Structure 1
Amino acid sequence: MYNLRRLEILRELKHRGTLVAVASAMSYSPSAVSQQLTLLESEVGAPLLEREGRGVRLTPQAEILVARTEKALRELERAETEIAASLQEVSGTIRVAAFQTAMLALLPAALTWLREHHPRIRVEATQAEPNTSLPGLLTRDFDLVIDETFPGQARPARAAEYEHHLLFEDPMRLATPAPVASLAELAQRPWVMEPADTPARAWATAVCHVAGFEPDVAYVSADMLVHVRLVEQGHAVAFLPDMLRFDRPPGLVLDGSAGHTRTVLATVRAGAGEHPRIQAFLTAIRRPF
């Protein structure tokens, strides 16, 4: 029987791409990772890695092993879920990634509820955008990602490996320093938007295109509080999520009449949603809404 830890190292290489990244994630030295993979090749009796430029790629035999390892890990995760469900008290650590507004608006209240109802659950939370945190579910860096989707956007690749739990629909409001009659009136105004490689930026740009203009994106920030301040002081216009209702200064005009929304989700690995820790966290995170 093949060594499971070595199979996990091979799987990590599939997801992370380099020996150095695997070593960092698993607290090994790169030479130790290389040695374990060499031993696994001896066990298998076939090459598992091929040189590709300065890096390596998995052979067809290695891909077979990774696919089977994924199935084995999912079965072990199901076993963990069943054992946790058989216990009277929910305990242990859940590692969560959330984008900024979710960290600000949802997480504190959820932590308060968990502290009262499940004091033996430890939450480790990291602020990260979904496009970077979702792959962390598959590498098991995170157990749950608070995710967002916008109308007209496809789900990420490998969607079958994720399980999505709807939290709520979050209105996206046009934010201006003074009232306007239509979005088209803002064609000549400077905008603040999120970075170019984000779903939020793609959605906001598409909405402006439908209104007949290319937005003048003078300011770029992933920090939504920066967006609020720039609009409040008359330097830009923006789309702001309703989730920011806890921080709305009086110098902000918000118009939601167009009916734009984003969908806020809790995403976990496929099959992990029934784990008691996941269920407890889902209950906690839904409470404010």
Structure 2
Amino acid sequence: MLDVHRLRLLRELDRRGTLKAVAEALSYSPSAISQQLSQLEAETGVTLLEPAGRGVRLTAQARILVAHTEVILERLELAEADLRASLTEVGGTLRVASFQSVLLALVPPALTLLAEQHPGLRVEITHEEAGPAFAGLLAHEFDVVLGEEYPGLPQPPVEGVHTQLLALDELLLAVPTHGPHARGGGAKGDNGSGNGDGDGSAGDCGEDQAPVRLAELADVPWALDPPDIPVGQWARTLCRGAGFEPDIRFASPDLLLQIHLVETGHAVALLPGLLLDTDRGHDMRVSRLPGRPHRRLITGVRAGAARHPAVRAFRSALKQGLKMP
């Protein structure tokens, strides 16, 4: 009988490429990983790894095992999901990876609902961007991850992952209401929001005033995400489409910092409506963008765990939280 743990290590080596990367991801030493895979070779009676430069690569026989391992692990998770579903209480531990705007806006109300509806469920939250989070999901570091897709930048499907649309969140232009970079006389509390119904409501967004056009902001400082992540790529493409290269003075993925820079009059920014849809007013002017672009917020779980009661409870709580005041 083949050892499932060793099969999983082989699959991780296929996914990550090096023994060192597998060891770092799973908190083992490379020598321990190598020893486990040598034992798997002994169990199978075939060569699974062969030298490749300073590292190793999988043989054709190893790839056959990897393909079966994906099916085996999915079936085991389906079995666990069915077992948990047979119980009357939703319990255990659910490990969630999410990024900043969702952590601030959606996760707290979801946790409140879960505490009321499923007090036996422990939820552990890790702040992680979508790319590393999905890798951690497949490595069984997380059970649920939150992801996002920006206009024109769809994310390719991840094999073995079940995704579900959570919400459509309108992307908005935020400009200062005072200081040398102010545009118009927007008041505190102008804000926008996306929601799970996808109607892209953005509050009043200063619609009683002349709209701010992107081309008018070619000569002002910008606060944008770094260029090596999808939101940063999307923002730069949007500005270039309006005929200018943004003067980026602040490059940071910290959206709270971007909001603060706008409120203090130091920059303009492109912000998700979800983050602005809070009880706290924002001292900035918020305008809709041409075409009213939205980002897609999704949840992802391993395919075999989609029916797990804890996963279903968390996804449901996120949806309910979207409708909470």
TM-score by length of 2: 0.83
- SS state at 2:102 partner: helix
For residue 164 of structure 1, what is the aligned residue in structure 2? 163
Matched position secondary structure for 2:321: coil
Q: Which runs of 5+ in 2 are unaligned?
A: 177-182, 185-210
Unaligned runs of 5+ in 1: none
Structure 2 Cα separation of the partners of residues 183 and 203 of structure 1: 14
Change in Cα spacing, 1:225 to 1:40, as seen in structure 2 (3 Å) is: same
Please state how far the C-alpha of 1:103 moved relative to its aligned partner.
0.8
Instruction: Give SS of 1:231's match.
Output: helix
Q: CA deviation at 1:233?
A: 1.5
Does the CA-based 8 Å contact 2:212-2:287 persist in structure 1? no
Take 1:257 and 1:36, find their aligned partners in 2: how far apart are those partners? Answer: 54
Letter matched to residue 213 of structure 1 = F
Give runs of aligned pairs for residues 185-204 of structure 1, distance below 5 A: 185-204=216-235
Which structure shows the higher helix fraction?
Answer: 1
By how many angstroms is 1:27 displaced? 4.5
Q: How many Å apart are 1:25 and its aligned residue? A: 4.2
Question: Offset at 1:29?
Answer: 3.5
Residues 215-254 of structure 1 correspond to what in structure 2 (within 5 A)?
215-245=246-276, 246=278, 250-254=282-286
**Residue 170 (structure 2) pairs with residue 139 (structure 1):** no
CA offsets 1:107-161 (integer angstroms, 9 cap, x no match) = 11111111111011111110111122111111111111111111111223x5342
Name the CA distance, whole Å, in 2 between partners of 1:59 and 1:257: 52
Relative to 1, partners in 2 of residues 1:77 and 1:108: Cα closer, same or farther, differing over 3 Å? same
Aligned with 1:166: secondary structure?
Answer: strand
Are the aligned partners of 1:232 and 1:249 in contact in 2 as well (CA < 8 Å)?
no
CA distance in 2, matches of 1:146, 1:28: 27
Instruction: Report Cα offsets for 1:156-178 as digits up to 9, x if no partner.
Output: 3x534222211111111101113
Note the aligned Cα RMSD (angstroms). Answer: 1.8
What's the offset of the Cα at 1:15?
2.6
The 3 A distance-change label for structure 1 pair 192 and 7 is same
Alpha-carbon displacement from aligned partner over 1:210-245 (angstroms, at most 9, x marks no partner): 211222222111110010011112211110111112
Per the alignment, residue 174 of structure 2 pairs with 175
**C-alpha distance after superposition, 1:3-25 (max 9, x if no partner):** 22221221222233332343344
Q: Once the 2 structures are TM-superposed, how far is the Cα of residue 31 of structure 1 from its aligned partner?
A: 2.4
Indicate conservation of the 8 Å contact 1:172/1:241, yes or no. Answer: yes
In the alignment, the residues of structure 2 paired with residue 247 and residue 208 of structure 1 have an alpha-carbon distance, to the nearest angstrom, of 30
3-state SS in 2 of match to 1:126 = strand
Q: 1:275 aligns with which of 305, 308, 322?
A: 308
Q: Distance in 2 between matches of 1:190 and 1:96?
A: 36
Q: TM-score, normalised by structure 1?
A: 0.93
SS in 2 for 1:159: coil
Relative to 1, partners in 2 of residues 1:247 and 1:64: Cα closer, same or farther, differing over 3 Å? Answer: farther
Instruction: Within 5 Å, give how 1:49-60 maps onto structure 2.
Output: 49-60=49-60
Number of aligned pairs?
A: 288
Which letter does structure 1 place at the counterpart of 2:274? M
- CA displacement, residues 33-69 of structure 1 (integer Å, 9 cap, x when unaligned): 2111111112222221222233222122111111111
Amino acid at match of 2:74: R
* Greater shift in the superposed pair: 187-196 or 121-130: 187-196
Structure 1 runs of 4+ off > 6 angstroms?
none
Q: Partners of 1:107 and 1:124 in 2: how far apart?
A: 11
SS at match of 1:146: strand
